[in-house]
Amino acid sequence: MEMHTDVLLVTANVGSLFDNVGDIEGDWLQEFFMTVHKHTPRFIALHFQEVGGKDYKRNMGHAKKFFLTIESRCEMADFDKVCVYVDSHFNDVDSFTALGSMYFIHKSLKNIQQYDFKVTASHE
């Protein structure tokens, strides 16, 4: 039975996905896409900790591929507005957070604006 949920919020420590490439990624993605299909949300927010895993300098390329895989899957086709934010400044050890976020907005939602904290204004 399909359940409609307006908002789906997911937080995940994905370090193991990048430290053991291929071992659990497929299962993680399958579970995520099944959840999207089951709940049919109109807005999805994904928050990731430990992007890149323990060896983030070496694994950041895989992280980019991971985000593109999520974004380009057929299960996500009805989400025509996507924002991806990833801290990839791993050479700046004092400020590197290893955090990432993805936001998906369903095509049925109109008049979407995003607040820009740097300029303190919203824009489309």
Per-residue pLDDT tens over the stretch 1-11: 555 669 999 99
Judge residue 98's burial from the number of C-beta atoms within 10 Å of its C-beta, 0-12 exposed, 13-18 middle, 19 or more buried: buried
Residue 1 lies inside a defined structural domain of this protein: no
Residue 88 lies inside a defined structural domain of this protein: yes
At 73 the pLDDT is: 94
State which residues form the domain around 86: 7-123
Per-residue pLDDT tens over the stretch 59-112: 777 888 888 999 999 999 999 999 998 887 777 777 778 788 999 999 999 888
| Residues 28, 89: Cα–Cα separation, whole Å | 26
**pLDDT exceeds 60 at position 117:** yes
Per-residue pLDDT tens over the stretch 12-64: 887 777 777 677 888 889 999 999 999 999 999 999 888 877 777 777 778 88
Pairing of strands 7-13, 43-49: parallel
Residue 2 lies inside a defined structural domain of this protein: no
At 9 the pLDDT is: 95
| Residues 50, 28: Cα–Cα separation, whole Å | 15
Which tokens is 9 given? 């919020």
Residue 16 lies inside a defined structural domain of this protein: yes
- State how far the alpha carbon of 7 is from the alpha carbons of 10, 31, 41, 78, 82, in Å: 10, 17, 5, 14, 15
